[in-house]
């Protein structure tokens, strides 16, 4: 029996002061390796802000039309996809069923982004494209495939070229079977009062919707750039934060960000097997809080709000 506990890494960022970091616990309870500011956590759906921003960046340079029908990039697309555009995918307004609700029976290899079009092609859409909002991981898997096509390189290289390398981030995609990822946090699930390493399941192999690993060091660079753009165009940041339409609970949804009803906050959570994460950014005052955890029983969003208020 081991006594090590999973950990967390937090970041509090103010646009005009140095970032404040806090780390605790273990990146891996079996080895006892402690969490550090450069420990890479699986971001889960926090990844969506990067997928969306890469799409906006390619569109900004004229490589991608966000208003084109996505059937342009999927030869076997059903007729209903003709009305769907990348903008619809970005804003969760495509009406495509969430593939996580239609997983194949086990045993089955981990799904990849390229598996998702086939998985959901015959499933009736929830609604006509653009007519409503409903969160769907499917759209971001398709978006990753579109970016690969228009950039003619793997999605991981698109992210690196458009965001990570220019900003000096060590963030990257990773899935089981890839070369080892240095300083990777392992996810943990609690069973019978004990934490066990458990961070791989059928959906852990897709990238566009949640496959990025990043540290609080990385996110300090990313959020710092968004708050005070020096490398990316400021207009591109404004576009990423512009609400595309209403979401649930009075919020709206932008490009990988929820926006609060009063427009002051941009936020998102990320949940997957073994990880729970949150980011909250007060856009008006230029303050942000990030909570990354490698345990399945964490509550990062309330903690992020408390950090922002403190």
Domain presence at residue 234? yes
**CA 174 – CA 179 distance, rounded (Å):** 8
CATH number at residue 216: 3.40.710.10
Domain presence at residue 67? yes
Where the chain has pLDDT below 50, the residues are 1
Per the structure, the count of domains in the chain is 1
Residues in CB range of 149: below 8 A, 6 or more apart: 73
pLDDT score for 1 = 41
Domain presence at residue 205? yes
Domain presence at residue 3? no
39 is in which domain, residue-wise? 8-309
Domain presence at residue 106? yes
pLDDT score for 193 = 85
Q: Quick check: 78 and 119 in contact, CB under 8 A?
A: no
With a pLDDT cut of 70, the percent of the chain lying above it is 99
pLDDT score for 2 = 52
Domain presence at residue 12? yes
């Amino acid at each position: 029996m081991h006594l090590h506990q999973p950990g967390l890494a937090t970041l509090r960022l103010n646009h005009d002061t140095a970032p404040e970091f806090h780390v605790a616990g273990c990146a891996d309870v079996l080895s006892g390796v402690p969490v550090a500011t450069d420990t890479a956590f699986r971001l889960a759906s926090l990844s969506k802000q990067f997928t969306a921003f890469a799409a906006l960046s390619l569109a900004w340079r004229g490589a991608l039309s966000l208003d084109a029908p996505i059937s342009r990039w999927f030869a076997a697309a059903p007729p209903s996809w003709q009305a769907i555009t990348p903008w619809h995918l970005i804003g969760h307004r495509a009406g495509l069923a969430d593939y996580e609700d239609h997983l194949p029976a086990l045993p089955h290899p981990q799904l990849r982004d390229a598996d998702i079009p086939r998985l959901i092609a015959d499933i009736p859409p929830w609604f006509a494209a653009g007519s409503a909002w409903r969160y769907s991981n499917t759209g971001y898997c398709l978006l990753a495939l579109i970016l690969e096509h228009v950039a003619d390189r793997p999605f991981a290289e698109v992210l690196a070229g458009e965001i990570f390398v220019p900003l000096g981030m060590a963030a990257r995609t990773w899935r089981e079977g890839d070369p080892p990822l240095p300083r990777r946090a392992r996810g943990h699930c609690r069973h019978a009062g004990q934490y066990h390493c458990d961070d791989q399941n059928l959906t852990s192999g897709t990238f566009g919707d949640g496959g990025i690993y990043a540290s609080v060091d990385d996110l300090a660079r990313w959020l710092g750039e968004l708050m005070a753009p020096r490398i990316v165009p400021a207009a591109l940041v404004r576009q990423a934060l512009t609400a595309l339409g209403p979401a649930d609970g009075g919020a709206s949804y932008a490009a990988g960000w929820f926006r609060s009803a009063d427009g002051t906050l941009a936020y998102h959570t990320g949940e997957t097997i073994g990880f729970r994460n949150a980011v909250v950014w007060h856009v008006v005052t230029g303050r942000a809080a990030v909570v990354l955890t490698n345990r399945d029983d964490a509550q990062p969003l309330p903690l992020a709000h408390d950090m922002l208020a403190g």
